[in-house]
Amino acid sequence: MVNQHDVWMCTECGYTAAKRFIGDICPRCGLTYWRCRVCSFTTIGAFPPDVCPECHAKCEFSNITCYVPGLREADTVNPDF
């Protein structure tokens, strides 16, 4: 049985894999998802926008495509994890 810390999951379609998705692109839905750190707006694209389309703030976006259930967001966006 796979431990929950050994599973990577797409935040949109729920696809799971034993390792991080190549290029943070979900193999099932083929998309990369970004969340605004100010207002939590979620957008799709190869790269995050410079300005949030929802709150219009110039802010950082978190890549939320591929995450490990049970870990904090800070752990999931670290590419060296």
4-40: per-residue pLDDT in tens? 457 888 877 889 888 888 888 889 988 888 999 999 9
pTM for the whole thing?
Answer: 0.59
Residues 6 or more apart whose CB falls under 8 angstroms from that of 44 comprise 31, 32, 33, 34
Q: Give the DSSP H/E element, type plus range, for residue 61.
A: strand 61-63
Cβ(12)–Cβ(23) below 8 Å: no
Q: How confident is the model at residue 55 (pLDDT cuts 50, 70, 90)?
A: very high
Largest CA distance in the chain: 44
